[in-house]
Amino acid sequence: MPTTSEHERNFISTRDWNKADLDRLLNLAKDMKQNPSKYRNALDGKSLCMFFYNPSTRTRNSTEIAAYQLGMHPTFNSIKDSWVGYNSESIKDTAIVLSRYFDAIGIRIFPVAVDWKYKEGNRILREFAKWSTVPIINFEDDQYHPLQALNDIFTIKEKKEKSEGKKIVISWAYHPKPLPLSVPNSTVLATTLYGMDVTLAHPKNFELDDEIMLAAKNNAKKSGGTLTISHDIEEAYQDADVIYAKSWGSIQQYGKPKEEKALRTPYRDEWCVSEKHMALTKPDSVFMHCLPIRRNIVAKDEVVDGKHSIVYDQAENRLYTVKALLYDLLSSTM
Amino acid sequence: MPTTSEHERNFISTRDWNKADLDRLLNLAKDMKQNPSKYRNALDGKSLCMFFYNPSTRTRNSTEIAAYQLGMHPTFNSIKDSWVGYNSESIKDTAIVLSRYFDAIGIRIFPVAVDWKYKEGNRILREFAKWSTVPIINFEDDQYHPLQALNDIFTIKEKKEKSEGKKIVISWAYHPKPLPLSVPNSTVLATTLYGMDVTLAHPKNFELDDEIMLAAKNNAKKSGGTLTISHDIEEAYQDADVIYAKSWGSIQQYGKPKEEKALRTPYRDEWCVSEKHMALTKPDSVFMHCLPIRRNIVAKDEVVDGKHSIVYDQAENRLYTVKALLYDLLSSTM
Amino acid sequence: MPTTSEHERNFISTRDWNKADLDRLLNLAKDMKQNPSKYRNALDGKSLCMFFYNPSTRTRNSTEIAAYQLGMHPTFNSIKDSWVGYNSESIKDTAIVLSRYFDAIGIRIFPVAVDWKYKEGNRILREFAKWSTVPIINFEDDQYHPLQALNDIFTIKEKKEKSEGKKIVISWAYHPKPLPLSVPNSTVLATTLYGMDVTLAHPKNFELDDEIMLAAKNNAKKSGGTLTISHDIEEAYQDADVIYAKSWGSIQQYGKPKEEKALRTPYRDEWCVSEKHMALTKPDSVFMHCLPIRRNIVAKDEVVDGKHSIVYDQAENRLYTVKALLYDLLSSTM
């Protein structure tokens, strides 16, 4: 496993970063939230290439505003207006050229952009990182969403004072389409790294892949946390401090929409988070989701709009956590 | 009817604003036009989310440059690159999240984006405004285009010294497609509010809706203006100070392209503005259009390029009027 | 032929510029490369409209960063999000209106956007220039790519100390699609203008048009350069200082994909640049391409990644050369 020093110029997965370095990001984000004008124009003259193979609302806008507040120039490149990609131009050529113009490059690439060949999106990001001479930032690929995971640890620590020993349920949900595994993968890795008692709750056939699970178990062992799998949503929610709802598709039928849907459909109603479920958690528990959320499918309005919900604060924090990352990656070269 | 104080943080229709507050915008726009560098960077650090469900040239670019000149960061979000909308994510969630990142949110949404369900676009804007904690600006919906109407009053006052007592003809025209009602609706409301003698000239079947007409009549009563309907373009143009050409579709067959086209087609030639028509107006009359204009369909080249035409000055003013709006909405929070 | 003074406010083709004025751009670009922070914010408050009918990576991003470094605001307009074009709105109207908001307007328009009617894209740019009151910059049309040509002369002078008397081979290559003639046209014009010994190497049927060739011959006569045509790639490469590989379609079957492909296909293998070809050149020769390049079709990896290749430095220089152009066009109006 690489040391952070080799890899900290990229942010492709939290797995590539030492915990001490992630801690530094979290502390910086806290300072940025408390002192909004403190870092204004700190990265004046620097620029960020934002490259999207797929749509975005939170990642794109929070990053663009973070960059602006730091004095940077963000450029939004959609695949629809560009030659980049692994068809028209080699990743090597795109990566080297863009790194001659920009100080960092963020990329979003979903399964649909790589024909649902699992981890191909992540491979492309790592190929970019191989050739780029500036940091590559993962704006969500088909395996990881580390900006979201960093943000969610930040939010948990903010709301619960600390992460260690808190019980979180990563709670699978139905969705009309098969969603990527990036968020559950990154969330189980980050929460185990931060010493939480993690219950991964999902129906059978919705297991995360072995590599992720092994890494998460190792994280838990080192951090003093735990990792439990549950196929019973009600049992899982008992005394939880944090409910993290998220839909994801079955890796068993990855890229086969019809077969995958057959696995997913039976659990539609049972796994939709309701107040009935939240009543099983601790009174001061929080309900999280990375958004966008399909209301009354992933969770009922009564939950999303309810007293436990912190989904908007969670989304707002994206601004501070990505701002911390940009500053951490780029301020040393000022 | 709401007082401005409740609603002035949004700009969804001029109907929501007191005349005194609109006057303040017009005066500010005048100062901004005369002193281009005076307000440079006055809103430094603030940001504007620009959200477009549909294409734009003038609104997008004039607003982006106005924001830049004020020191703000504008972000252009196209529906094609985003999750927002009323399918993928609830308006509530999008509105709350975006208002955590931005200081104001502008939205364009045309009839085609809401399946030609009349006023549904405006309902969506008001739904955004309900949840957003920052001002919502209407970049043209399916009922109103208040930035255009504000701009056109500004332009009329600039060219004619005052609006009161001046005769304006809002002159319907044919167009190959059924166009939204937003511009005629907003224009008839604004011109009656500003004491003009308004002639709404159109063939039968192209009436504006009752709610708009009632509000316009009330405006005229209060302002000392008048509101007349004419189905005879030549009669309408007699002694006019301002000709405002605009095509719009029939509300009677709204969303039914084939049936609507049958209503529209017979008037194609008769209602195209020519020099013959302009000769009926006052010698110093002005010809206006919000652009883009289909030349030789809505009006002949001889008119668009003729001595009465002020269409480019009108378009240029969009820069000053939207700049005034941004400053008015946001400077108090600096 | 126009004097520069009339036309230097536009940059549509290097043919419209005097050599002395192009020299000034090249010197300025050199200073900008050597002193990256020297011109920071020199054009503060100015704005650039970037209008793309077609995709872009290098042109869009290098220009956007150049504008930002100069303190300008660049706006990226895609045809997909705009009314502009020669269908929805007259070029006259678009040009006049945009020039009321912006200090310069850059436009990319490829053959596909004008139904493969040769020079129609260029005609549209000149129509923009006719009506715009601010400089029009060619971001590549269907006849010229002057930003690329300016950049390539800059790169040749940087790598070879001078251009005069150096032998360059403009080396045709196969490509799966018929590519525009803009780059070979502009390259042959610029290299002859700068006193190079130019060999235009291509199979029969891939001649450039007579107008371009006549202008290039005149350039060579004045500059002391030469212009030779070769249909034999191996003969052409003998003792070359610069190999400039580029695919282009046959003007004989312009806009007829099937017929054109039949002309192109026989030369696929023979004209792909390999180390075998490069071995015929001078030991210190350089390999250039404007990128994006189809690897192993236009040139083999061994060449693109080989010791002669300067393709990434060439691409990086786009930043400095367009920055020089923006400054040259706009600084006098500060």
Which strands, in side-by-side order, build the sheet including A197-201? A226-230, A197-201, A167-173, A242-247, A286-288
| Rg of the Cα atoms in chain A | 19
Handedness of CA C298, C304, C306, C309 (dihedral sign): positive
Tell me, yes or no, if A83 comes closer than 8 A to chain B by beta carbon: no
Which strands, in side-by-side order, build the sheet including B136-138? B73-78, B47-52, B104-108, B136-138
Residues facing residue C287 across a β-bridge: C243, C309
Indicate whether C95 and C179 sit together in one domain: no
Q: Which amino acid is at A334?
A: M
- Name the E strands within C112-194: 136-138, 167-173
- CB neighbour list of residue A248: distance below 8 Å, 6 or more residues apart: A172, A178, A179, A180, A181, A183, A184, A206
Structural domain count, chain A = 2
| Portion 224-253 of A in contact with B at CB < 8 A | none
**Which residues in chain C touch residue A76, judged by CB atoms under 8 angstroms apart?**
76
Q: What is the pLDDT of residue A5?
A: 45
Tell me, yes or no, if C323 comes closer than 8 A to chain A by beta carbon: no
Indicate whether B187 and B303 sit together in one domain: yes
Q: What is the pLDDT of residue A120?
A: 96
Q: What is the pLDDT of residue A82?
A: 82
Q: Provide the percentage of residues in chain A whose pLDDT is more than 70.
A: 96
Q: Do C75 and B80 touch (CB under 8 A)?
A: no
Q: Do A65 and B102 touch (CB under 8 A)?
A: yes
Q: Do C78 and A81 touch (CB under 8 A)?
A: yes
The rounded distance, in Å, linking the Cα atoms of A100 and A334 is 16
pLDDT by residue, tens only, chain C of 334 residues: 334 444 358 999 999 999 999 999 999 999 999 998 999 999 999 999 999 999 999 999 999 999 999 999 999 999 888 876 556 799 999 999 999 999 999 999 999 999 999 999 999 999 999 999 999 999 999 999 999 999 999 999 999 999 999 999 999 999 999 999 999 999 999 999 999 999 999 999 999 999 999 999 999 999 999 999 999 999 999 999 999 999 999 999 999 999 999 999 999 999 999 999 999 999 999 999 999 999 999 999 999 999 999 999 999 999 999 999 999 999 987 6
Token pair 């619960």: residue: A160
Indicate whether A297 and A220 sit together in one domain: yes
The rounded distance, in Å, linking the Cα atoms of C279 and B194 is 79
Give the CATH number for residue C115: 3.40.50.1370
Q: What is the pLDDT of residue C163?
A: 98
- CB neighbour list of residue B239: distance below 8 Å, 6 or more residues apart: B167, B280, B281, B282
Indicate whether C139 and C174 sit together in one domain: no
The rounded distance, in Å, linking the Cα atoms of A269 and C313 is 58
Measure the N-to-C terminal CA separation of chain A; round to a whole number of Å: 29
pLDDT digits 0-9 by tens, B17-62: 999 999 999 999 999 999 989 999 999 999 999 999 999 999 999 9
Looking at every residue in chain C, the average pLDDT score rounds to: 95
Q: Per-residue confidence at B82, pLDDT binned at 50, 70, 90?
A: confident
Closest partner residue to A316 among B49, B73, B100, by Cβ? Answer: B100
Indicate whether A256 and A322 sit together in one domain: no
Indicate whether A93 and A231 sit together in one domain: no
Chain A, chain B: beta-carbon pairs less than 8 Å apart: 73
Q: Is residue A211 scored above 70 in pLDDT?
A: yes
Residue of B nearest to A73 (CA): B73
- Name the E strands within C109-189: 136-138, 167-173
pLDDT digits 0-9 by tens, C230-252: 999 999 999 999 999 999 999 99
| Portion 198-227 of B in contact with A at CB < 8 A | none
Q: Which residue has the higher pLDDT, A297 or C84?
A: A297
Indicate whether B195 and B79 sit together in one domain: no
Residues facing residue A198 across a β-bridge: A168, A227
Q: What is the pLDDT of residue A85?
A: 56
Closest partner residue to C81 among B69, B78, B312, by Cβ? Answer: B78
**Which residues in chain C touch residue A88, judged by CB atoms under 8 angstroms apart?**
292
Q: Per-residue confidence at B3, pLDDT binned at 50, 70, 90?
A: very low
Q: How far is A33 from chain C (nearest CA, A)?
A: 27
Q: Provide the percentage of residues in chain A whose pLDDT is more than 90.
A: 93
Instruction: For Cα atoms B244, B247, B250, give the angle at the middle one, nearest 5 degrees.
Output: 130
**Chains adjacent to A (≥3 CB pairs closer than 8 angstroms):** B, C
Q: What is the pLDDT of residue B84?
A: 62
Looking at every residue in chain A, the average pLDDT score rounds to: 95
**Chains adjacent to C (≥3 CB pairs closer than 8 angstroms):** A, B
Which pTM does this prediction carry? 0.96
Indicate whether B37 and B165 sit together in one domain: no
C-alpha distances (whole Å) from B301 to each of A1, A297, B272, B288, C99 are 71, 56, 11, 13, 20
Tell me, yes or no, if B88 comes closer than 8 A to chain A by beta carbon: yes
Query: Nearest to residue C172, comparing CAs of C259, C272, C275?
Result: C272
Tell me, yes or no, if A90 comes closer than 8 A to chain C by beta carbon: yes
Residue of A nearest to C293 (CA): A89
The rounded distance, in Å, linking the Cα atoms of A258 and A240 is 34
Indicate whether C269 and C229 sit together in one domain: yes
Q: How many residues does chain B have?
A: 334
For testing contact with chain B, the best of A47, A61, A295, A309 (most B CBs within 10 A): A61
For testing contact with chain B, the best of C68, C90, C333 (most B CBs within 10 A): C90
Other beta carbons within 10 angstroms of residue A196's beta carbon come to 30
Q: Mean pLDDT throughout A190-207?
A: 98
Token pair 């390029």: residue: B305
The rounded distance, in Å, linking the Cα atoms of A284 and A265 is 32
pLDDT digits 0-9 by tens, B244-297: 999 999 999 999 999 999 999 999 999 999 999 999 999 999 999 999 999 999
Indicate whether A157 and A139 sit together in one domain: no
Q: Per-residue confidence at A84, pLDDT binned at 50, 70, 90?
A: low
Closest partner residue to A97 among C40, C52, C312, by Cβ? Answer: C312
3-state SS assignment for residue C152: helix
The rounded distance, in Å, linking the Cα atoms of A111 and A253 is 13
Tell me, yes or no, if B150 comes closer than 8 A to chain C by beta carbon: no
Question: What is the token pair recorded at A235?
Answer: 């049992």
Residue of C nearest to A51 (CA): C57
Q: What is the pLDDT of residue B89?
A: 92
Contact B70, B323 (CB under 8 A): yes
pLDDT digits 0-9 by tens, B174-204: 999 999 999 999 999 999 999 999 999 999 9
Residue of B nearest to C73 (CA): B68
A324: containing domain: 4-144+316-333
Q: What is the pLDDT of residue A9?
A: 87
pLDDT digits 0-9 by tens, A143-181: 999 999 999 999 999 999 999 999 999 999 999 999 999
Q: What is the pLDDT of residue A334?
A: 63
Contact A180, A149 (CB under 8 A): no
Q: Is residue A325 scored above 80 in pLDDT?
A: yes
pLDDT digits 0-9 by tens, C43-92: 999 999 999 999 999 999 999 999 999 999 999 999 888 876 556 799 99
Q: What is the pLDDT of residue A81?
A: 85
Query: Nearest to residue A206, comparing CAs of A168, A252, A170?
Result: A252
**Chains adjacent to B (≥3 CB pairs closer than 8 angstroms):** A, C
Indicate whether C59 and C16 sit together in one domain: yes
Residue B292, preceding bond cis, omega within 30 degrees? yes
Indicate whether C310 and C189 sit together in one domain: yes
| Portion 92-121 of C in contact with B at CB < 8 A | 93-94, 96-98, 100-102
Q: What is the pLDDT of residue C83?
A: 72
For testing contact with chain C, the best of A83, A87, A96, A131 (most C CBs within 10 A): A83
Q: Do B55 and C89 touch (CB under 8 A)?
A: no
